[in-house]
Amino acid sequence: MTAASGGAQTTRPTRLPRSARRKQLLAAAQQIFVAHGYHAAAMDDIAERAGVSKPVLYQHFPGKLELYLALLDTHCDAIIAKVRDAMLGTHDNKERVKGAVQAYFDFVDHESEAFRLVFESDLRNDPQVRQRVERVEQGCIAAVTDTIISDTALSTEAAELLASGLVGAAGQSAQFWLANGRRTPKAEAEALVAALIWRGIASFPLQDGATSGSTTEIG
């Protein structure tokens, strides 16, 4: 607190720990990037949204691209982790499929609209951005591939092909559902897509010793 004219007191802005400030700046940047896209977003707008000066913003991020990449890393890691958790969270393969589909629907349906940074970026031609977007697909496919290999006698190549089909169907269906105005209730949409994927992948036999409910197939 400092004295002002007439004895009034003014309050200095709270000094946040570096990690908390970074989180605050990323949240502000996400709002601006989602609303305007990368090219139309300005560091001035981000600083204003965060309630800080531009020098403070530049202390944490040397430029707009670095700020955008930091956001991408956060959300790319999040969707990969959700799919991996769906694979590791149960031994029931039918539930694994449901979990993977739900992970994509939850991601695109989140109120933050962060999915736009990953799936609808206006900076996809930048090699660093493209690498991160591709990492999402590759990371999710890898998580599903590991599960398929552990439960079946399929080769790595065959397991990767099946995993890419599952990930592609889940991701494209979720984006289509959102783009078309959520005309089907979310839970119903997830169940429909999961059922479609399950009917295909369940036909591949389990390897000896694998367990998955009461069937002798993947599921």
Distances (CA, A) of 137 to 58, 60, 106, 180, 203: 31, 29, 16, 23, 24
Longest C-alpha distance within the chain, in Å? 84
Residues 94-152: tens digit of each pLDDT: 899 999 999 999 999 998 888 888 888 888 889 999 999 899 999 999 999 998 888 88
Q: Which residues pair with 9 in a beta bridge?
A: 3
CA-wise closest residue to 41 among 22, 20, 57: 57
Tokens of 175: 């984006």
pTM value is 0.80
* pLDDT one-digit tens code per residue, 137-188: 999 999 999 988 888 878 899 999 999 999 999 999 999 999 999 999 999 9
